[in-house]
Structure 1
Amino acid sequence: MAARRPAGTRTRCGDTDTGGTGAVTPPLRAPCDTPVPTQGTSQWVTLDFPRPVKVSQLHIQFQGGFSSRLCTLEGCRTGEELVKISELYPQDSHAMQRFQVEETVLDKLKITFGSSTDFFGRVVIYHLGVLGERL
């Protein structure tokens, strides 16, 4: 599952202040050159995988000045409620950042970006990679 979105994976992003409305993002291996669609206190990205995966790492590259100081990862199997997996604390940097996460089997992964470094709460992601294995 490294740096490539499996066929059938659905990706959604949005703003928690507006009930999560948003546009479909490009494939995970392509640069994401548009910001999460709206601004506010927290934005999120949800990945729905076509079959179970075991997630072990998250790679993320922000635009410097438009980073998130806190990323909360939640996941679940189909038909279950989201459960918190991990909290990550990225730096306000344009560099690729890599995080080990507790290996978790899931069908859905939600990443919430809180505490933006931008005054208006905007978050800009250039690369988002979820690594692990397909089951």
Structure 2
Amino acid sequence: MASTSLINQDTRIKVSSVLNRDTTSFGKQHLIDGTEETCWNSEQGLPQHILVDFGTPAILQTINLTFQGGFVGKTCVALGSTPDQPNDYNVTLATFYPQDINPMQSFAMVCDQPIQRLKLVFEESTDFYGRITIYKFDVLGTR
């Protein structure tokens, strides 16, 4: 079965912080709005994270991220929760180390069970102050 985007109208996304609390300019909605002109920009401090509730369980395969160079998550951990324990992120899906570049980067996950929620943790940043800036975010997999 071919993987497709798991982000749809039923997907709920939360982020750890928004720069200057300016959700209009830098809020979570810009992660998935499809425009290259807008972005999610975190406040300073680490770790930062993105929480994704898919609405229905899915098999996760790939995370696609487009960072702003200079504000890249250097060490990223993808954690999942199962439908029977949605608040317990006890499934490690991947640890990856993005390059400090602007083009989209893709990262494979090891996932052999349905995942209800994803927590993408940015443990380190290329920014001295720990800020993360993402222009595009997607999760691919199967339902």
Q: Same fold (TM over 0.5)?
A: yes
Question: Could you say which residue in structure 2 is the equivalent of 1:108?
Answer: 117
User: Residue 38 of structure 1: CA displacement?
Assistant: 1.6
- Structure 1 length-normalised TM: 0.83
Structure 1: which 5+ runs fail to align? 16-22
Which structure shows the higher strand fraction? 1
Q: Distance in 1 between matches of 2:78 and 2:99?
A: 17
With normalisation by structure 2, the TM-score equals 0.79
* 1:27 positional shift: 6.1
Residues 1:123 and 1:130: Cα distance change in structure 2 (over 3 Å): same
Q: Which of 69, 82, 90 is equivalent to 1:64? A: 69
2:22 is the counterpart of 1:13: no
The letter for the 2-side match of 1:132 is G
Cα deviation code 1:4-62 (max 9, x no counterpart): 622211000015xxxxxxx5434635247233432101110000011111101111110
Q: 1:100 to 1:41 in 2, by over 3 A?
A: same
Match of 2:133 in 1: 124
Distance 2:14 2:44 in 1: 15
What is the total number of aligned residue pairs between the two structures?
128
Contact 1:9–1:48 under 8 Å retained in 2: yes
* 1:2–1:26 Cα change, 3 Å: farther
Distance 1:124 1:58 in 2: 16
- CA 1:78 to 1:8, structure 2 compared with 1: closer, same or farther past 3 Å? same
1:25 is the counterpart of 2:29: yes
Alignment of 1:37 onto 2:42: yes
Q: Is the 8 A contact 2:6 2:141 kept in 1?
A: no
Q: Gaps spanning 5+ residues in structure 2: where?
A: 18-26
Identity %: 29
C-alpha separation between the residues in 1 aligned to 2:32 and 2:60? 14
Equivalent residues of 1:5, 1:29 under 8 A apart:
no
